[in-house]
Amino acid sequence: HLSVMSKRQPIEEVVADPATASSLKQHLQLVMEARQFAKDILHLPVADNFRTYVDIGRSYVVWNVVAAPAYSLASYEWCYPVTGCLPYRGYFEKSAAETFAESLRNRGLDVHLY
């Protein structure tokens, strides 16, 4: 999480950079327009949301692991001090998510990694 946060750049700077691919510039300009629409037209509190960009070099920021007992629709939950209990566990490294998923399968749980 900290490594991702430390690499973020203001969207305006990324768009202004001549080295930025035109397709990325178009996507980021759309983000800026959507943010402005949310603020001006919908009167939503946008605060500092959607103002920075990070090229993480892969398709996903996190990989989530969800699990349930076999033949059950009730999700297994993990409890955390700040967020409370959640029906998933997130990992920034795919290999760590895969290892954890396998440990849950070994305990007899049905597991999905996405």
Give the separation between CA 67 and CA 33, rounded to whole angstroms. Answer: 38
Give the separation between CA 110 and CA 79, rounded to whole angstroms. Answer: 19
Whether the CB-CB separation of 45 and 76 falls below 8 Å is answered with no
Q: Rounded to two decimals, what is the model's pTM?
A: 0.68
Reading the chain (114 residues) residue by residue, the pLDDT tens digits are: 788 888 999 999 999 999 999 999 999 999 999 999 999 999 999 998 999 999 988 888 999 999 999 999 999 999 999 999 999 999 999 999 999 999 999 999 999 999
Give the separation between CA 10 and CA 15, rounded to whole angstroms. Answer: 9
